[in-house]
Amino acid sequence: MQTEIEELFEANPSLYQVEHQQVFYRFKTALNEGKIRAAEPDPSSPTRWRVNTWVKKGILLGFRMGVVVEMSIDGKKQPFFDKDTYPVREFSADSQVRIVPGGSSIRDGCYIGRGVTCMPPMYINAGAWVGNSTMIDSHALVGSCAQVGERVHLSAASQIGGVLEPVGALPVIIEDDVLIGGNCGIYEGTIVGKGAVLGSGTILNRSTPVYDLVKNKIYRATDDIPLIIPEGAVVVPGSRAVTSGPGKDWGISLYTPVIVKYRDEKTGSKIQLEDLLR
């Protein structure tokens, strides 16, 4: 399948034939079943993850070959139009995925594990991977190709950014047992380590350093390595003073995330609320 996808991606024909569409639909089925994914764990990598470039090419291929069609349930009251290659994903009760009524949308071409709970309204884009028993709360977004582990809690209005292009870029990674507080934003290939906790309103990206008050370290992204939040870190929004120029004279401070502690039994007891809902 990898060879077929890469050859078709590079060929970029002006007209896609039936056999091309069959290759893509087999590819998309494998995405839905979790047999392939845009990124996967790799202990030999400095980030512990590797991007599967060919999978991202396959997802882009779907947008290339798709044509815009009407996808409305009722075209007069609420019209919807999108590429025919990416309709809403189909589920059954046997999937053991809770999609609570109220306006959520999950695009075809993503893996959703058993026991996932989707509170309305929320959105999961093509290429995403969501592990078993994860909670996706109201107004949360899981972007294209984002990788979300098992038993993660994405609180209300949290944003997990997607990275589809460039195809070689690592997407956002949320490892197992992470709690993402309300109104958090994780972008630009950031990796949040296993068991970490992000306090409400925390923003993580490649541009803003993270200050670790416990280990007396500063975490930054580089040209080759994204921002990586250590396992078990408890991160909250903070600020750092501008120390020169007009900013110092004006008393300006800049936003920065701060690691204030590492997860312990007390922290764990406060973040298990979703277990009561399952």
The tally of CA atoms less than 13 A away on the side-chain side of residue 89 is 25
Which pLDDT value is given to residue 183? 97
13 vs 226: CA distance, rounded Å? 35
CA distance 40 to 32: 15
Task: Give the pLDDT score at 4.
Answer: 97
211 touches 240 (CB < 8 A): yes
> Which regions of the chain are under pLDDT 70?
267-278
Q: Quick one: pLDDT at residue 274?
A: 47
Cα–Cα distance measured from residue 106 to residue 111, given in angstroms and rounded to the nearest whole number: 10
State the pLDDT at residue 277.
44
Q: Distances from the Cα of 18 to the Cαs of 25, 88, 188, 222, 240, in angstroms?
A: 11, 22, 36, 43, 57
The yes/no answer on whether domain 13-67+86-265 falls in CATH 2.160.10.10 is yes
Residue 268: predicted pLDDT = 62
Q: What is the pLDDT of residues 137-166, one digit of tens each?
A: 999 999 999 999 999 999 999 999 988 888
Predicted confidence at residue 165, as pLDDT, reads 84
**First-last CA distance in the chain:** 37
- Give the integer Cα–Cα distance in Å for 168 and 164: 9
